[in-house]
Amino acid sequence: MSAACKTILECIGEDPHREGLLKTPLRWAKALLYMCQGYDKRPEDVTNGAVFHENHSEMVVVRNIDIHSLCEHHMVPFTGRVHIGYIPNGKILGLSKLARIAELYARRLQVQERLTRQIADAIVETVEPLGVAVVVECTHFCMVMRGVQKTGALTTTSSVRGCFESNSKTRAEFFSIIQGNGVTMC
Distance CA 51, CA 122 (A): 13
User: For the chain, which domains are there?
Assistant: 1-36 (no CATH), 50-179 (3.30.1130.10)
The DSSP H or E segment spanning 52 is: strand 51-53
Q: Annotated catalytic residue: which of 54, 72, 125, 128?
A: 72
Print pLDDT tens along the chain (186 aa): 999 999 999 999 999 999 999 999 999 999 999 999 999 899 999 999 999 999 999 999 999 999 999 999 999 999 999 999 999 999 999 999 999 999 999 999 999 999 999 999 999 999 999 999 999 999 999 888 888 888 888 999 999 999 999 999 999 999 999 998 755 544
Please say if 73 is a catalytic residue: yes
The answer to whether the pTM exceeds 0.95 is: no
Work out the widest C-alpha separation in the chain, in whole angstroms.
62
Whether 96 and 63 have beta carbons less than 8 Å apart is answered as no
Q: Determine which one of 112, 138, 163, 173 is catalytic.
A: 112
Q: Is 68 a catalytic residue?
A: no
Distances (CA, A) of 53 to 14, 57, 177: 57, 12, 25
**Four-CA torsion 26, 33, 83, 135, nearest 10 degrees:** 110
**Which member of 71, 103, 138, 173 is catalytic?**
71
Query: Does residue 142 have an active-site annotation?
Result: yes
User: Does the annotation count 72 as an active-site position?
Assistant: yes
56 in catalytic set: no
